[in-house]
Amino acid sequence: MIRASRHIAPAKEFSTVGIKLSRSFYEQSTVDVAKQLLGKYLVRQHPKGATVGRIVETEAYVGPQDLACHASKGRTARTEIMFGPAGHAYVYFIYGFYNMLNLVTERKNHPAAVLIRAVEPVAGIDLMRARRQVDKLRDLASGPGKLCRAFAIDRSLNGADLCADVLYLEERGELPPKIRATPRIGVDYAGKWKDKRYRFLVRDSDFVSKT
């Protein structure tokens, strides 16, 4: 668990501010990070205003041996960031349309990351609606491509330090939610790795990408 949680004040004092997750949080095993991220808050600062979402769905991509992980293809310009130290954003562009947000985990030279797949909108909701051109709260960020659009996350944030002030995660003192694990989405090509239950969801959340 994150060390900062020991210093948490009563919940009512956390209505507007949380504790930024430290680098040591991201240095844990990738599966642990993916699970513990559920119930944490994604914060994106932007000139037009901040957007905040409660994370309800993640996926772990655990290293070069994981055939679903981009790093299994080797160290390239695209995957370089995953080979660096934990606590940085890995943002890539796919299908000609969408950006995907990942958080680099574990130690230097161990390429692994957690994909953020869905968040529950918490703040900056009008901004998200304007960017996404949809109205329903449940549709704003219930998918990895949707949330990147809602939060204005693109490849200019690739490599961003999650311990800085533009893009980061917060603990807001809530109890760990009940978790459900399933195989990851869209990785049928990954051989025996496609069946690993590395997708984690908050049970009972209405804001996940699919059930």
Site residues for DNA per CB under 7 A: 59, 61, 68-71, 73-74, 76-79, 90, 92-98, 100, 102, 113, 115, 132, 134, 139, 143-147, 155, 184-187, 189, 209
Whole-number minimum distance, CB 54 to DNA, in Å?
Answer: 17
Interatomic CA distance for residues 88 and 85, integer angstroms: 7
In terms of CB distance, is 84 or 173 closer to DNA? 84
Whole-number minimum distance, CB 118 to DNA, in Å?
Answer: 8
In terms of CB distance, is 38 or 115 closer to DNA? 115
In terms of CB distance, is 3 or 73 closer to DNA? 73
Q: Which long-range contacts (CB under 8 A, 24 or more apart) does 42-48 make?
A: 42/116, 42/119, 42/147, 42/151, 42/167, 42/169, 43/167, 43/168, 43/169, 43/170, 44/124, 44/151, 44/152, 44/153, 44/166, 44/167, 45/165, 45/166, 45/167, 46/127, 46/152, 48/127, 48/152
Whole-number minimum distance, CB 90 to DNA, in Å?
Answer: 7
Whole-number minimum distance, CB 10 to DNA, in Å?
Answer: 36
In terms of CB distance, is 19 or 119 closer to DNA? 119
Contact 99, 155 (CB under 8 A): yes
Whole-number minimum distance, CB 55 to DNA, in Å?
Answer: 14
In terms of CB distance, is 40 or 132 closer to DNA? 132
Closest CA to 115 of 93, 95, 90: 90
